[in-house]
């Protein structure tokens, strides 16, 4: 995560809001429509948490394929090393998504938001498992297909967070004092926290698009 100042975060948010979303492909569109049908179109902390449960899995799928590739290519150490660098990069993004997830869970607990077990515990895991396999298969067929799908997912998340902040000016007055400030950073308000998360999603998107343009190995 590249931490930005409060002013920068506001500037970034304005920029995202002024930028149209990407043209989503069939798979991404289907996922977003499905999510809206099940969790509603309204942006809520619980819906964001579901998004974060799913967000980590492409990185896990790429990591698992990359480790298999290392096993097959260790006789060419330089090549295997490049794959391992890719693993480390994926892990950083995965960890970043993990903090997003834990922060959201923490906020949901603090606000005493009640969640249905089936909708918010069981179903997200089923969606994540399916999404993992789709990411894995696409990656095996052609890595750029998987990166493209992830870039679309991240673009969607980036816009959702920034719009959420825009739709809830009251978040500007809500201070953030979470348990994960040491790991994720401290923010004066919930607005800034969500702007930073939105900005992280933008960086994840850019990294995926960059991998399409400049394959790592
Ligand atoms: Fe995230
Ligand atoms: Fe992300």
* 187, 196 Cβ separation under 8 angstroms: yes
How far is the C-alpha of 154 from the C-alpha of 158, rounded, in Å? Answer: 6
Separation of 174 CA from ligand 2 center, angstroms? 24
Separation of 158 CA from ligand 2 center, angstroms? 8
Q: Which ligand is nearest to the CA of 100?
A: 1
Q: Which residue has the tokens 């949901």?
A: 108
Q: Could you tell me the two tokens for 10? A: 């506001």
In the chain, where are the structural domains located?
6-213
C-alpha closest to that of 166 among 195, 140, 204: 195
Separation of 204 CA from ligand 2 center, angstroms? 5
**For each of the chain's 217 residues, which pLDDT tens digit applies?**
666 677 799 999 999 999 999 999 999 999 999 999 999 999 999 999 999 999 999 999 999 988 888 888 878 788 888 888 888 888 898 999 999 999 999 999 999 999 999 999 999 999 999 999 999 999 999 999 999 999 999 999 999 999 999 999 999 999 998 899 999 999 999 999 999 999 999 999 999 999 999 887 6
- CB-based contacts of 180, cutoff 8 Å, min separation 6: 99, 102, 103, 106
Separation of 149 CA from ligand 2 center, angstroms? 12
Separation of 173 CA from ligand 2 center, angstroms? 26
Separation of 69 CA from ligand 2 center, angstroms? 24
Task: Note the pTM of the prediction, 2 decimals.
Answer: 0.93
Q: 6-213 architecture in CATH?
A: Up-down Bundle (1.20)
């Amino acid at each position: 995560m590249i931490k930005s100042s409060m002013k920068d975060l506001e500037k970034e948010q304005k920029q995202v809001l002024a930028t149209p979303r990407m043209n989503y492909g069939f798979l991404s569109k289907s996922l977003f429509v499905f999510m809206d049908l099940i969790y509603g179109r309204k942006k809520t902390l619980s819906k964001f948490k579901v998004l974060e449960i799913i967000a980590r899995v492409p990185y896990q799928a790429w990591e698992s394929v990359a480790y298999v590739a290392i096993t097959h290519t260790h006789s060419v150490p330089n090549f295997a090393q490049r794959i391992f660098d890719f693993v480390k990069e994926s892990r950083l993004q995965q960890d970043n998504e993990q903090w997003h997830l834990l922060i959201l869970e923490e906020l949901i607990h603090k606000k005493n938001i009640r969640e249905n077990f089936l909708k918010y515990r069981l179903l997200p895991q089923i969606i994540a498992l399916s999404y993992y396999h789709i990411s894995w298969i696409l990656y095996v067929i052609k890595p750029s297909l998987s990166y493209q799908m992830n870039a679309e997912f991240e673009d969607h998340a980036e816009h959702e967070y920034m719009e959420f902040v825009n739709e809830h000016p009251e978040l500007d007055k809500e201070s953030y004092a979470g348990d994960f400030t040491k790991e994720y950073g401290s923010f004066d308000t919930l607005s800034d926290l969500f702007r930073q998360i939105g900005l992280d999603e933008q960086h994840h998107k850019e990294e995926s698009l960059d991998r399409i343009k400049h394959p790592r190995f």
